[in-house]
Amino acid sequence: PLWLGVILFPYGWFQAVHSQRHGPPEVVIPLRVTGTGFGMKTKDWLSYRMHFGGRNQVINIKVNSHFLSRHFPVFTYSDQGALLEDQPFIQNDCYYHGYVEGDPESLVALSTCLGGFQGILQTNDIVYEIEPKRLSTTFEHLLFRMKSEETQLPPMKCGLSDEEIARQLKFQSGYEGWWTHHRLLELAVVVDHYRYLHHHSNTTAVQHEVFSVVNGAHKFLKSLDVDVVLMGLEVWTEKNPISIKKSGLVEAFCNWKKASFNMRLPHDVAHLFVKQGYGIDLGLSFVGTVCNYNYNCGVDSFRYGNVYSSAYTVAHEIGHNLGMLHDDKTCKCGNNQCIMYAYPTSATRFSNCSYASFMNSIASQNCLNFPSNTGKSFTLARCGNSVIEEGEECDCGALHLCMKDPCCESNCTLSPGAACASGLCCKDCQILPTGEVCRQEENECDLPEWCNGTSYHCPEDVYVQNGMPCKGGGYCYEKRCNIREEQCRNIFGKEAKSANQSCYTEINTRGDRFGNCGLMNGGYIKCSILDILCGRIQCDNVIQIPLLRDHSTVHWTHINGATCWGTDYHFGMTDPDIGDVKDGTACGPDHICVKRRCYHRAHLTFFCSPKTCNLKGVCNNRQHCHCNSEWDPPKCLKRGSGGSVDSGPPPRYKRKKMRQTTNSLILLWYLAFMMLLCCLILCFLAHKRRAKRKEPNVSPTHEYEEHNVKT
């Protein structure tokens, strides 16, 4: 059965927005600082110094850009009652999460979309709400201290009675799993007509309020390792399609949602934000129905609505949807009261009881494990969504992005003189010439691609055919050469190596988080003897335990004289699994691991082989030949420049350049030889002249003497 969790509050809690604020506000001026004394990584983080609570505080904040769906739809209604859908520009870089430096338990959730800071600060167990001071010319802000439970008006009692809590606990299924860490909650929000009128019929103002509230609620829920993604928004701009009277409201909203909303927008939880107050009732929701598409709903009343109280209410009601009940005296969170306390508090944390209820509720449910496939839900094509669609030459996105784009106009046409605006084969608004490499090969199992000179697109990425041998005894698979020994070294250091086969036999046949052949239906698959080498990697000769990511566990086992080291992996972890044997790893002679099974290579169907490529190339993943640089596709039979029918044309000047280089070398050798020959000839002639000069001139003397004798 389903139980309706109702938070009941006395009317006085709503009488004024400032009924939760303690005393006059402090006036603060946030000052930007460029660094901190604690060595915080400054990338993507901003730091501001403020003086409040009698001391200087440094606030570190980072954009929370992932709490809005990428293609965010806003549903409204025409004056004729027709449903309208729009995907307006959403500024998603002005919502921040962060912390107060020096306080690891602090919490910050702010918005700067409207200029200045607006949101929640919590430090030293004190909650503040900050907002810009109107008409200030010096960036002044007002900082209100929220009342604690001791200073609240008389205590309120929740409508979920102790008897109902006891009955609810009987229906909680026994927890057979274990903590599965990261979850993704997809939230849809509907805003009633009176809340829309409260914002002067301004849909943009409604959006900002919803985003600020969800940003704050998201920060509360992150302590559970739950990320909230706002999938879409509907505003009842003309009228409320259901009665918003207190009696039966949450059931009526659920029925409307089933009939009119479920098919339009994927979600794990849908909440209705209303303007109307209900006396002592602030919120209503079903308990433990987050994965039940018919009852995963709640109603939140924002009668006045400051950010903290609204975000607190939404987080509390979502807590009920996640299976949480109200805290009793045994529940602790570090404060006197926690978020799921039955009375209103200034809490920002969930208790140990809330954690336990959450774990029990979702142990056997998978709707929070993975994001919805929203590709079919958002099909609206329009200029300005950063996606080039039919009829568009380019799409530079929002107006402020188009102002910085020299190639694309805001009307999705190319700028004068531009031939392209995007793509790997586009540079300086012009298409790159044929033969320019646009994607280099990453490793020996990858192949390069080149531009064709007519398109700004780089050809689709192709790589060496799966199952082809690569260095180290492995096989190429999905562009990687995976080797068992190398995987051990990557995890445990350069001295590590693959463990004895007895480790694989003993551990991977267990079917637990340390040894298995995959996950299925919330459990672990035991490896068969044939597949033990394709389960989880087992290593030996580990010198030092590595520093791994959070929630990762290293195991050490001694089996029959063999030492076995490995890592775990389980549901809910979002980091890549470093300990599963990678596809393409060898598991025997001519055997290869594929999806935790050990297959003979013949299992991989090959229509292309090295013989197909005349032994002058390799086969790619499309079973086409990628020829060596001296041969042309498709079969590498003729001399050419290499590549494949899929890679684009490689540069044709390679062989010509090689021939030019060879000819140049021959010419240089010829010139050098001729110069040497000339030098030798000149040297010979010079030597001959010198020899003639040294020879004695005796012939005239003889003639003279002979002449004298005759006379």
Q: Name the percent of the chain lying above pLDDT 70.
A: 82
| Least-confidence region, from 98-107, 507-516, 580-589, 701-710 | 701-710
Residue 51 assigned as binding residue: no
- Residue of 317, 392, 436, 506 with catalytic role: 317
Q: Give the separation between CA 316 and CA 348, rounded to whole angstroms.
A: 10
Lowest-confidence pick of 169-173, 213-217, 394-398, 594-598: 169-173
Confidence (pLDDT) at 304: 62
pLDDT given at position 697: 52
In this prediction, residue 165 carries a pLDDT of 40
Name the residue with tokens 């009343």: 301
Q: Chain-wide mean pLDDT for the chain?
A: 82
Quick check: 487 pLDDT over 90?
yes
So what's the pLDDT on residue 32? 92
Sheet containing 183-191: order of strands:
4-8, 281-286, 297-301, 269-274, 183-191, 226-235, 74-77, 83-86
The pairing of strands 83-86 and 74-77 is antiparallel
Query: Is residue 131 flagged as an active site residue?
Result: no
Averaging pLDDT over each range in 29-43, 60-74, 267-281, 626-640, which range is the top one?
Answer: 626-640
Q: Cα separation of 452 and 458, whole Å?
A: 8
What pLDDT digit, counting tens, does each position of 193-246 carry?
999 999 999 999 999 999 999 999 999 998 888 889 999 999 999 999 999 888
CB 411 within 8 A of CB 394: no
pLDDT at 524 over 80: yes
Q: For residue 484, what are the contacts with CB-CB under 8 A and spacing of at least 6?
A: 474, 498, 533, 537, 581, 585, 586
Evaluated on CA atoms 336, 338, 340, 346, the torsion sign reads positive
Q: Grade residue 7 by pLDDT with cuts at 50, 70 and 90.
A: very low
Instruction: State which amino acid sits at residue 455.
Output: S
Angstrom CA distances, 146 to 111, 305, 493, 612, stand at: 18, 14, 51, 76
The residue ranges of DSSP E strands in 417-504, in sequence order, are 426-427, 430-431, 437-439, 449-450, 469-470, 474-477, 480-482, 497-498
Q: Any idea which residue has 């003279």 for tokens?
A: 704
Q: Which amino acid is at 488?
A: C
| Highest mean pLDDT out of 15-19, 343-347, 492-496 | 492-496
pLDDT tens for 359-384 read: 887 766 677 876 665 443 444 567 88
Q: What is the pLDDT of residues 134-179, one digit of tens each?
A: 888 899 999 998 875 433 433 333 344 444 444 434 433 333 334 4
pLDDT for residue 119? 92
Confidence of residue 679 (pLDDT cuts 50, 70, 90): confident
Please return the burial class of 309, using the count of CB atoms within 10 Å of its CB with bins 0-12, 13-18 and 19+. buried
pLDDT of residue 693: 65
In whole angstroms, give the CA distance from residue 670 to residue 611: 42
Instruction: Find all residues with CB under 8 Å of 302, minimum gap 6, and list them.
Output: 195, 209, 213, 273, 274, 275, 310, 313
The count of C-alpha atoms lying within 13 angstroms of the C-alpha of 21, restricted to the half-sphere facing its C-beta, is 20
Instruction: Give percent helix, percent strand, percent coil of the chain, each to the nearest 5.
Output: 25, 25, 50
Gap between the terminal Cα atoms of the chain: 162
Count Cβ atoms below 10 Å from residue 380 Cβ, excluding itself.
11
Mean pLDDT of 393-422: 92
**What is the Cβ-side half-sphere exposure of residue 149, based on CA atoms within 13 angstroms?**
16
Residue 332 has pLDDT above 60, yes or no: yes
Does 326 count as an annotated binding residue?
A: yes
In whole angstroms, give the CA distance from residue 7 to residue 343: 8
Mean pLDDT, residues 390-401 = 87
pLDDT at 178: 41
Averaged pLDDT, 479-491: 93
Question: Could you tell me the two tokens for 138?
Answer: 């010096």
pLDDT of residue 56: 92
CA distance 323 to 286: 9
Which residue did the predictor score with more confidence, 147 or 444? 444
Region 242-264: mean pLDDT is: 91
pLDDT score at 109: 93
At 637, list the tokens: 């039979």
In whole angstroms, give the CA distance from residue 198 to residue 275.
Answer: 8
Return the minimum-mean-pLDDT range out of 23-37, 129-143, 657-671: 657-671
Mean pLDDT of all residues in 468-474: 86
In angstroms, the CA 504 to CA 659 distance is 56
For residues 31 and 58, give the distance between their C-alpha atoms in angstroms, rounded to a whole number: 9
| Rounded Cα gap, residues 672 and 652, in angstroms | 31
pLDDT in tens, 268-309: 999 999 998 877 667 888 888 888 888 999 999 887 668 888
316 is in an annotated binding site: yes
Query: What pLDDT, on a 0 to 100 scale, did the predictor assign at position 15?
Result: 27
Q: Are 635 and 626 in contact (CB under 8 A)?
A: no
List the single range of 94-103, 177-186, 451-460 with lowest mean pLDDT.
177-186
Asked if residues 421 and 408 have their Cβ atoms less than 8 Å apart, the reply is: yes
